[in-house]
């Protein structure tokens, strides 16, 4: 059942049509006509969780557990290696709890990128401590992502309906695991209040995964024809809003921006708003599935070139300078903060 669902998630993601809005277009960055910089010296390297990556980009959690997803994970990890960027595997529940035979589809990621690369394990916020240890072990993860996916589960006919006890479970995990714990959404955003609650139990890494991109209510609705959930497709906290609000918490809470990240402006704006690293899932998957490895590589080549273009156009020679840039908030985003 879980294997079938994994495949349907990828297939249905490609069929979704709802256009969300991250509200990142309401972040205005100023042009610098006199940057006094040499393009060849623009430095996009950044350090996260003790490792240096060449660009502040994360290929975010998507898949694993089937032959089909093994192929996807292989290609994604080749891209992660080629660009020296971070990568998260999809939920490892299937490998740690149910089917030992599908472990290779996850292990292939660490085997491909090598031990120097930044790789995150992934499980649900309901996972046991023992399973978190297994998930980390399987891919020698540098951190564990624990996903919160209430909207997805509730849209899924066979999904969970009891969401109690997740908070104390996360508290138990963060207190007993010696690797960093990243709490992530799957495309509906994290509010300041939820971030504060997580901060209070010791969480120092949050992937906001806001709305505006992949829409799991629609993906699940394509698997469940008994109910029309379309009026809920716009539900969620837009990525820009979630990021700005979570950044109001103390500095030692490190934020990954994701949800609807498609282009260089989304990435640069996320960094200016305070993200350490920026995650991409659906957009990269589309390039990969529709045109193969070379198509996805061309997309990333263009993306990193355009990030450098924007850095010179803002007069910023490295990521630290970029993150300290001024910005203005306009439009709907201004009304919401
Ligand atoms: C096909 C697909 C499968 C996903 N599976 C997982 C998963 O197993 N675990 C998880 O934490 N997030 C999962 N996600 C959510 C992404 O990590 C991300 O939070 C979300 O898609 C928003 O980013 P995007 O708009 O760039 O796709 C999945 C996304 C896609 C498109």
Q: What pLDDT is stored for residue 3 in this prediction? A: 80
- From the first residue on, what is the mean pLDDT of each consecutive set of 10 residues in the chain (337 residues)? 85 95 98 98 98 98 92 97 98 85 93 98 98 97 98 95 98 98 98 98 98 97 94 98 98 98 98 98 97 98 98 98 98 97
For 223-232, how does the pLDDT look when each residue is reduced to its tens digit (9 = 90+)?
Answer: 988 999 999 9
Residue 149, C-beta contacts closer than 8 angstroms, at least 6 positions apart:
124, 185, 186, 216
Q: Whose CA is nearest to atom 3 of ligand 1?
A: 62
For the entire predicted model, the pTM comes to 0.98
Q: Whose CA is nearest to atom 5 of ligand 1?
A: 62
For 260-318, how does the pLDDT look when each residue is reduced to its tens digit (9 = 90+)?
Answer: 999 999 999 999 999 999 999 999 999 999 999 999 999 999 999 999 999 999 999 99
Strands 119-124 and 143-147, by their bridges, are parallel
Q: Whose CA is nearest to atom 18 of ligand 1?
A: 186
Cα 62 to middle of ligand 1, angstroms: 5
Q: What pLDDT is stored for residue 320 in this prediction? A: 98
Which residues line the pocket of ligand 1, CB cutoff 6 A? 9-10, 13, 60-63, 90-91, 122, 145, 147, 184, 186-187, 209, 213-214, 258-261, 280-283, 285
Domain count, the chain: 1
Range of the domain at 146: 2-336
3-state secondary structure the chain: CHHHHHHHHHHHHHHCCCCCCCCHHHEECCCCCCCCCCHHHCECCEEECCEEECCCEEECCCCCCCHHHHHHHHHHHHHHHHHCCEEECCCCHHHHHHCHHHCHHHHHHHHHHCCCCCEEEEEECCCCHHHHHHHHHHHCCCEEEEECCHHHHHHCCCCCCCCCCHHHHHHHHHHHCCCCEEEECCCCCCCHHHHHHHHHCCCCEEECCCECCCCHHHHHHCCCCCCCCHHHCCCCCEHHHHHHHHCCCCCCCEEEEECCCCCHHHHHHHHHCCCCEEEECHHHHHHHHHHHHHHHHHHHHHHHHHHHHHHHHCCCCEHHHHHCCCCEECHHHHHHC
Cα–Cα distances in Å, from 195 out to 23, 49, 204?
Answer: 20, 19, 9
Strands 51-53 and 46-48, by their bridges, are antiparallel
Cα 63 to middle of ligand 1, angstroms: 8
Cα 42 to middle of ligand 1, angstroms: 31
Q: What pLDDT is stored for residue 99 in this prediction? A: 76
For the CA atoms of 15, 262, 59, 74, the dihedral, rounded to the nearest 10 degrees, stands at 50
Q: What is the CATH number of the domain that holds 91?
A: 3.20.20.70
């Amino acid at each position: 059942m879980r294997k079938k669902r994994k495949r349907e998630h990828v297939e249905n993601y490609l069929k979704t049509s709802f256009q969300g809005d991250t509200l990142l277009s309401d972040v205005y960055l100023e042009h610098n006509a006199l940057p006094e910089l040499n393009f060849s010296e623009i430095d996009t390297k950044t350090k996260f969780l003790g490792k240096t990556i060449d660009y502040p980009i994360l290929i975010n959690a998507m898949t694993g557990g089937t032959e089909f997803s093994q192929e996807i994970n292989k290609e994604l990890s080749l891209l992660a290696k080629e660009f020296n960027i971070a990568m998260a595997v999809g939920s490892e529940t299937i490998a740690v709890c149910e089917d030992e035979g599908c472990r290779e589809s996850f292990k292939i990621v660490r085997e491909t990128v090598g031990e120097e690369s930044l790789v995150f394990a992934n499980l649900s916020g309901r996972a046991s401590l023992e399973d978190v240890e297994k998930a980390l072990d399987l891919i020698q993860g540098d951190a564990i992502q624990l996903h919160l996916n209430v909207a997805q589960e509730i849209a899924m006919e066979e999904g969970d309906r009891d969401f109690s006890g997740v908070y104390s479970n996360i508290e138990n995990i963060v207190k007993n695991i010696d690797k960093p714990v990243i709490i992530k959404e799957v495309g509906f955003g994290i509010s300041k209040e939820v971030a504060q609650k997580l901060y209070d139990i010791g969480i120092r890494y949050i992937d906001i995964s806001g709305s505006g991109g992949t829409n799991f209510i629609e993906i699940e609705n394509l698997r469940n024809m008994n109910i029309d959930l379309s009026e809920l497709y716009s539900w969620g906290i837009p990525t820009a809003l979630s990021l700005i609000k979570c950044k109001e918490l103390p500095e030692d809470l490190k934020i990954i921006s994701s949800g609807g990240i498609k282009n260089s402006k989304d990435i640069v704006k996320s960094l200016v708003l305070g993200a350490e690293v920026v995650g991409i899932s659906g957009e990269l998957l589309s390039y990969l599935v529709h045109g193969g490895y070379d198509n996805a590589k061309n997309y990333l080549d263009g993306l990193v070139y355009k990030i450098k273009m924007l850095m010179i156009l803002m007069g910023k020679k490295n990521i630290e300078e970029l993150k300290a840039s001024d910005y203005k908030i306009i439009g709907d985003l201004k009304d919401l903060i």
